[in-house]
Structure formats: C-alpha cells, structure tokens
Amino acid sequence: MRRVLIGSAVFSLMLLASASAKAQVSFGVQIGEPPAPRAYRVPAQPRGEFVWVEGYWYPQGNHYRWRDGYWARPPLPGAYWVQPYYYGGRYVEGYWESGRGRRWDRDRHDWRAEQYQRYGSDYRR
C-alpha cells in the first residue's frame, strides 16, 4: 500500500512539473495609435509596372517613425499592397497580397533604393 501511495505521489509531481514547464509568460509594450498621415508630394511613376505604396507610420522602439510613400514593383503578378494598420491595440505591418500568399514590406523591391544605387546622391525625390 505504501508503494502505491509513493508511486501516485511521484506521478502527481511529474504531471504538475510538466504542466508548469509548458507555461508561458509574455508581455508587450503599447505606444498607442500612430499619428495622422503626413502630406507629401508623389513623384512621377518610373515605369508602368510600378505601383504607388502610400506613406505610413511604423513603430520603432517606443515611438512611431514615418516612412514616405514609394513606387514599388509588386513581387508577383496580380499582387496588391495592403496598407499597415492599427487595430485593437496592435500594429499590423503592411504586406503584398496575391493568390499565392503574402509577402511583407521588408521583401519589397524599392524603386527609390534602386535609383540611389544606380545614380548615387544625384537622385532627387
């Protein structure tokens, strides 16, 4: 009888230890909603296959930074840009949507960066 009690106690401790090992602790920092969009001049379209991506605020550390709009080549035929947005206390970053899935802003082909590489500091917005 004593062995049964010790065995069940050990089994209970093992179950309790495994349940606490799966526990997760997480926290987030909220900086509130981003400011209103800025006004800016849209440069001429470089070529027909480029689409305009509106400027937007994105979180960096404990504040927001502004990203000017830019001309970009969609990563896939038929892809369209979904603007970043703030919803329910969370920032959702922008992405390219297509029938083959999503690609995020960090994967974009940025025309402005291409121009800086090609022409250096002589390129003007």
For the chain, domain boundaries: 51-122
Asked if 108 and 84 touch (Cβ cutoff 8 Å), the reply is no
| Contacts (Cβ under 8 Å, ≥6 apart) of 20 | none
pLDDT confidence of 123, banded at 50, 70, 90? very low
CA atoms within 13 Å, Cβ hemisphere of 104 = 4
Mean pLDDT of 44-63: 90
pLDDT digits (tens, 9 = 90+) for 65-117: 999 999 998 888 889 999 998 888 888 888 999 888 888 755 444 545 554 45
